Structure 1
C-alpha cells in the first residue's frame, strides 16, 4: 500500500525536476539569443555601433564553448543540483549587471561570465534529467529538456523584444534576471540531491577522443552537421527575402514554424531513438540534406519555402536529440566529460559554420551558403553510414 502510493509521487517529483531543468535551458538560451532582437536599442543606449553590440552574442558563444571542459572537470566533485543552482545564480547576476551597466565593457564582461555558465549547463543539464527518471524513460526526459531550446526560440526571443517595446532594454534584462531567480528556486525545490557521476580530471577529458574511437566518430559527425546547419541557417533571412520575396512578418512566422518543428522533432526522436538510434539519426540527417535541397529547388515560392522550413526544423530537432544519445552510447562511463567536449565542439562549429557560410554567401550569394550546408550535412550522413554497426542502439 505504502509502495504503491509512494511510487507515483516519486515519478511526479522526477518529472517536476525534468521540468525545472527544461526551464533552466529556456532561461539560458533566451539570455544567449535575446540581444539579437535588442541590438539597436542596446547600441543606442550604450553609444556603440550595432556591429560592436553584436559582440554580446559572439563573446557569449565563445565562452560557452571554449571553457566548458575545464569548468566541468574542475567542478567534478560538486553536487549537480548545487552546481545548477550556482549556474542560475550567475545567470541572474549577469542579467542584472547587464541591466544596470553604465558602459559596454561591463556588459561584455557580464556576458563572458554568463557564457561560461551556459556552457557548463549544456554539459550537465541533459545528463541530470536522464538520471531523474527510469532508464527506459531517459530519452524522453532528454527530449523534454531539449524542447526548452525550441520554446526559447519560438517564445523567448520574441517575448524579450516585445517587453523591450513596452519598456526598454534594461528592464528586459532585469525581468530576465528575476526569471533566472525563479527558475533557481524551482531547481532547489524540485530536484533531489544529485552527487557528481562520471566526471574526470581535465587531462583525462581531452584524452577521451584519443582512446575512444566511437566517441571520435560521434564528435566528427556532430561537428559536420552543425557546421552545415549553421552555415546555411545563419543566412536564412536574406535567402528568404531574395529568393521568395518574403516580408519581415513572413520571415518571423517561418522562424517560429522552424522552432515548433524542432520541438516536434525532439519528441518524435524521443520515441524512436531507443529502438534504433543510428537509424533515427540517419533519417534526421537525411531530412537535413533534403530540406536544404528543397530550399534550393522550391524555396522561391511561399509554399515551397514553408515546406522546406518545416522539414528542416523537424530534422534538426531530431538530430539534436540523437547526438545526446549517441554521446551517451559512446561514453557511458564518462558522459559529462564527453558532453563537455561535445559542447565545446558544437559551439565552435556554430561559429565556424557562420564564418564559412558567410564566405560562400559573399562569393556565390545566399544559395552558396545553402550549398555549403548541403555539402557538410551530406558529409555527416556519410560518416553516420560508415560508422560501426554497434552505434545502432544505445
Structure 2
C-alpha cells in the first residue's frame, strides 16, 4: 500500500522514534545506582551521563538544524537513528566511565536535532486538516517516553543488567531506523532558517521568549530532583530494586494519565494547563519530602510527580507550536536548547547538592526552581489580562494550536 494512503503509519513511526530518543536520554536515571557502582564513580558523578548528553543536545541543535536546512528530513532522521543505535551499542560495551560519557556526548547531538524536526515531520505527513491530531500524537510520544523510559530501563536492568539494557535499546533503535527508511516519504526541508534567524526569534516573539523562560526553570527543577529519585527512595525507605522498578512504573502510569488529561485541556487554555502542571510538580516534591520515608508516601509522591510531568511536557511543546507556527522547527530548536541544557544543568546541580548535602537538598532545589517557573507563568498571564482591554491581541498570549 503506498504511503499516501497510510500517512498515519508514518506518524506512528515518528512517534516511535521520539520514544527511542527520549528514553535513551533518560535511561541512566533509572540505572544510576547500578551504573555508578559498576563504573566505580559516585552517584553525583554518574549524573554527568545525563549532564553531558543534555549539553550536546541543547547547545548543538540550533546550529545543526540550520546547517542541515537543505537536507531531506527522511535522510536526516535515518542518520540520527543510526547514531542512536551505534551509540547504545558502544555504551553497552564500554570498559569504563569516560568512554560512556564520550559516547553519550555524541548521541546528544543527534537527540537534540530530532527534538527539533520530529513533530514538524509528523504534521507534514498528513493532510492539513489533520495537522493538529498528528502533532498531538507525536507530542504524546515525547511525553510518554519521558515518563515511561525510566521505569522501562529499570525493569530491563532488573531482568538483565545495565549493559543488557543498552544492548536491547541498540537493537530497538536499529529496528526503528529501518522503519523510517521504509515508511517515511521524501520530506525536503521547508521551514528551517539560518542560524542568526533562529537566535533572533525569542527577541522578536515575546510569547516564545516567556515560554522558554518557564520551560527552562521547570525542567531544571525536575531533573535536579528526579535524577536522584532512586538514591532518595533507597536511603529513606530502604526499598528493594524490585520496588524501585514498580515505583517507576507507577510514575510512568501517572505520566501517561497526565499526558491524556492535558491533551484535552491544552487546546482550550495552554497557559493555565501548563501552570497547573508545574504547580503539581512542586507539590509532588514537597509531598515526597514530607512522607517519602514510607513506601505509601513514596508511591503517592511519585504518582503525582508523574501526572504533573506528563502534563507539563505536553503543554510546553504546545506553547511553542502556538507561539511560532510558521517557524516551528526554529522555535523547537530554541526550545530544545533550553530544555536539554536544563536537563544537563539540573542533573549537574542536583548532583552537587546530593554529594555535598544529601539527596534531600537536591529535591528542595527542585521545589525552588519549579516554583519559580510557576511564578513566571502566572506573571505572564497577569500581564496578558492587564493588556486585554485594548483592541489588539496581546503578544503574550499564544494563538490557538490548529
**TM-score if structure 2 supplies the norm length?**
0.83
Unaligned regions of 5+ residues in structure 1, if any?
1-5
Say if 2:151 and 2:245, in contact at 8 Å, map to a contact too: no
2:340 aligned with 1:310, yes or no? no
Look up the match of 1:3: none
Say if 2:147 and 2:306, in contact at 8 Å, map to a contact too: no
**TM-score if structure 1 supplies the norm length?**
0.85
Deviation at 1:91, TM superposition (A): 2.0
2:151 aligned with 1:154, yes or no? yes
Looking at structure 1, the residues matched to 352 and 327 of structure 2 have their Cα atoms a distance apart, in angstroms, of 37
2:11 aligned with 1:15, yes or no? no
Look up the match of 1:72: 65
2:37 aligned with 1:50, yes or no? no
Look up the match of 1:369: 362
Pair 1:318–1:333, CA change in 2 (3 A): same
Say if 2:148 and 2:255, in contact at 8 Å, map to a contact too: no
**CA offsets 1:37-61 (integer angstroms, 9 cap, x no match):** 38867986xxx64357765544333
Q: Choose 380-389 or 103-112, whichever is displaced more.
A: 103-112
Look up the match of 2:111: 118
Pick from 65, 85, 88 the counterpart of residue 92 of structure 1. 85
Cα RMSD for the two superposed structures: 3.1
Deviation at 1:319, TM superposition (A): 0.2
Pick from 163, 179, 182 the counterpart of residue 189 of structure 1. 182
Look up the match of 2:331: 338
Pick from 206, 211, 226 the counterpart of residue 218 of structure 1. 211
Pick from 108, 111, 131 the counterpart of residue 135 of structure 1. 131
Looking at structure 2, the residues matched to 391 and 139 of structure 1 have their Cα atoms a distance apart, in angstroms, of 17
Say if 2:28 and 2:49, in contact at 8 Å, map to a contact too: yes
Looking at structure 2, the residues matched to 316 and 187 of structure 1 have their Cα atoms a distance apart, in angstroms, of 28
2:137 aligned with 1:144, yes or no? no
Looking at structure 2, the residues matched to 295 and 55 of structure 1 have their Cα atoms a distance apart, in angstroms, of 24
Looking at structure 2, the residues matched to 212 and 182 of structure 1 have their Cα atoms a distance apart, in angstroms, of 39
Deviation at 1:97, TM superposition (A): 4.5
Looking at structure 1, the residues matched to 244 and 188 of structure 2 have their Cα atoms a distance apart, in angstroms, of 45
Deviation at 1:360, TM superposition (A): 4.2
Looking at structure 1, the residues matched to 273 and 255 of structure 2 have their Cα atoms a distance apart, in angstroms, of 15
Say if 2:250 and 2:302, in contact at 8 Å, map to a contact too: yes
Unaligned regions of 5+ residues in structure 2, if any?
385-396
Say if 1:39 and 1:54, in contact at 8 Å, map to a contact too: no
Aligned length: 380
Q: Secondary structure at the match of 1:194?
A: coil
Pair 1:215–1:35, CA change in 2 (3 A): closer
Say if 2:14 and 2:138, in contact at 8 Å, map to a contact too: no
2:368 aligned with 1:347, yes or no? no
Say if 2:354 and 2:361, in contact at 8 Å, map to a contact too: yes
**CA offsets 1:235-287 (integer angstroms, 9 cap, x no match):** 32333334444343323321221122112212221122112211211221121
Say if 2:47 and 2:347, in contact at 8 Å, map to a contact too: no
Looking at structure 1, the residues matched to 47 and 349 of structure 2 have their Cα atoms a distance apart, in angstroms, of 18
Looking at structure 2, the residues matched to 109 and 188 of structure 1 have their Cα atoms a distance apart, in angstroms, of 27
